[in-house]
Amino acid sequence: MAPEPEAMDTQLNDRDYAALADFRHALRQFMAFSEARAAAHGLTPQQHQALLAIRASAEHPATVGYVAERLVLKPHSATGLVDRLEALGLVGRNPSPADCRVALLKLTPQALDLLAQLSATHRQEIIRLRPLLIALLERLD
């Protein structure tokens, strides 16, 4: 976890607090949208996030440790999450050619289709929210 920033020289005013509250509200609305879409496809938010992390791991080997790091989970929690995804037929494990003690994670065709659907709707929502988020960020200057 990142250390707390040093106390700022400027005092926060009512406008700053309102901007922070509005920004957090917008983020929470997006998260509620995301959670509902994942649930509609039979996934928990963490399962959806794990699939996304594995799919986006082109520059890093997708391992349980990588999933733990990307989802800010303890390794044993990530192991359970990956076990559940494997039981659902969404993730496969293959031994790493570099170290047979490490399993490389791979999405199944079913997971790739599911993730493509979810990601398309999420991208549309982010594009819809972009002007609002930019405006909220500018209020924090």
* pLDDT over 60 at 123, yes or no: yes
Query: What is the per-residue pLDDT across 35-66, written as a single tens digit (0 to 9) for each?
Result: 999 999 999 999 999 999 999 998 888 999 99
**What is the rounded average pLDDT of the residues 3-18?**
76
DSSP labels, 28-42: HHHHHHHHHHHHHTT
CATH topology of domain 14-139: Arc Repressor Mutant, subunit A (1.10.10)
Percent of the chain predicted with pLDDT > 70: 94
Domain positions in the chain: 14-139
Q: Count other Cβ atoms within 10 Å, centred on residue 65.
A: 14
Residue 128 has pLDDT above 80, yes or no: yes
What does R_g of the chain's alpha carbons equal in angstroms?
19
Q: Which residue has the tokens 């391992």?
A: 63
Query: Count of residues for the chain?
Result: 141
